[in-house]
């Protein structure tokens, strides 16, 4: 049975380029010179049980043909939209949301920040911070679309100093989606093939003000719009919601450290190997490649997801 920690949603690296959305890393030293983000330890206990339950459900449904009680037919398959194309299986992959550069030889799939242009001739995934507000963009959001606590203060993801967006009602979800979908439109206009909406798991940081149902309903607004623009949409981490993947409308998965946290099998099973994974440690890379390297796309990057001209740049595939 595959178990592990979930709900990371780009919590690791990805230094933010000027005008872009990539994230800065936060970590603590580990063995082999690796760095594991502090947030992993803080969230591991809360998310592990949910991920294990989803993993068991997926494996059981595959072996017996059954599914969890109450699951719809849509929840038991991926969101296959004939108008969009998910990334190819087991293709060379590079994660460039911290800054774009010429892809190395053998790369066929690239993920870049929405502020960057896609790489010519490759399959391009457009990173969008969909569920939270960048610190420098908070003032652009109407006050009532920022999630607030009982005292009227914004509910903030303290790891990244990002306010959560209020997707607690259908009306607010529509209004937030209208804004985020303008970024999705920008991805389509630039020529991207897919979108990577980040912070799908923000409801877990909402102090109970948001629910998984809210997240899934909001994701559906984004995926429906993206599909209409010819873009596939990747589920970012959040393995605890894999059993709702089709209801949300996702076509593939973008995972962080599925090797390090024994989640690769769960995602591969759910998305028929349509998975691109970024690892931030050598040990995680070894586990992902040894267990699933012949099925999914795996790359090892540095926490800052830096460019080759940076002293801390790391990129390996085996």
Distance CA 54, CA 273 (A): 17
In this predicted model, which residue has the larger pLDDT, 80 or 25? 80
Mean pLDDT over residues 42-68, rounded? Answer: 44
Structure token digits, residue 210: 């948001």
Q: How many domains does the chain have?
A: 1
The H or E element containing residue 162 is: strand 162-164
Distance CA 191, CA 122 (A): 11
- Check residue 318 and give its pLDDT: 85
Distance CA 81, CA 92 (A): 24
> Is residue 12 assigned to a domain?
no
For residue 261, what is the domain's CATH number? Answer: 3.20.20
Distance CA 160, CA 162 (A): 5
> Is residue 143 assigned to a domain?
yes
The H or E element containing residue 156 is: strand 156-157
Structure token digits, residue 218: 């909001």
> Is residue 242 assigned to a domain?
yes
State the Cα torsion 113-119-122-126 to the nearest 10°: 20
> Is residue 7 assigned to a domain?
no
Closest CA to 280 of 238, 252, 314: 314
> Is residue 245 assigned to a domain?
yes
Return the percentage of the chain with pLDDT > 70, whole number: 74
Q: Which is it for strands 297-301 and 275-279: parallel, antiparallel or unpaired?
A: parallel
> Is residue 129 assigned to a domain?
yes
Instruction: Residue 82: give the domain boundaries.
Output: 28-316
> Is residue 55 assigned to a domain?
yes
Number of H helices and number of E strands within the chain?
A: 6, 14
pLDDT in tens, 40-53: 334 433 444 445 44
> Is residue 80 assigned to a domain?
yes
- Check residue 81 and give its pLDDT: 53
Q: Which of 71-85, 186-200, 253-267 has the lowest mean pLDDT?
A: 71-85
pTM of the model: 0.79
């Amino acid at each position: 049975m595959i178990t592990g920690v979930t709900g990371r949603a780009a919590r690791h690296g990805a230094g933010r380029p000027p005008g872009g959305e990539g994230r800065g890393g936060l970590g603590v030293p580990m063995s082999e010179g690796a760095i594991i983000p502090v947030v992993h330890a803080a969230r591991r206990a809360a998310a592990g049980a949910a991920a294990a339950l989803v993993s068991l459900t997926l494996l059981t449904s595959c072996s017996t043909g059954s599914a969890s009680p109450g699951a719809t037919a849509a929840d038991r398959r991926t969101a296959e939209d004939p108008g969009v194309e998910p990334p190819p299986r087991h293709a060379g992959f590079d994660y460039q949301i911290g800054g774009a550069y010429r892809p190395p030889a053998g790369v066929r799939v690239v993920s870049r920040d929405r502020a960057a242009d896609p790489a010519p001739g490759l399959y391009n995934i457009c990173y969008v911070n969909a569920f939270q507000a960048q610190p420098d963009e908070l003032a652009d959001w109407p006050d009532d679309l920022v999630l607030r606590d009982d005292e009227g203060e914004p509910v903030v993801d303290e790891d990244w100093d990002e306010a959560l967006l209020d997707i607690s009602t259908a009306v607010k979800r529509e209004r937030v989606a209208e804004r985020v979908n303008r970024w999705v439109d920008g991805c389509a206009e630039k020529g991207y093939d897919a979108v990577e909406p980040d912070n799908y798991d923000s409801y877990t940081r909402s102090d109970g003000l948001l629910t998984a149902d809210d997240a899934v309903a909001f994701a559906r607004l984004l995926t429906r719009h993206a599909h209409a623009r010819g873009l596939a949409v990747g589920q970012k981490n959040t393995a605890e919601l894999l059993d709702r993947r089709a209801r949300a409308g996702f076509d593939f998965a973008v995972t962080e450290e599925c090797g390090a946290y024994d989640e690769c099998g769960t995602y591969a099973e759910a998305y028929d190997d349509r998975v691109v994974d970024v690892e931030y440690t050598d040990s995680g890379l070894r586990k992902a490649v040894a267990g699933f390297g012949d099925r999914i796309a795996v790359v090892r990057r540095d926490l800052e997801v830096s460019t080759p001209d940076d002293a801390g740049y790391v990129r390996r595939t085996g």
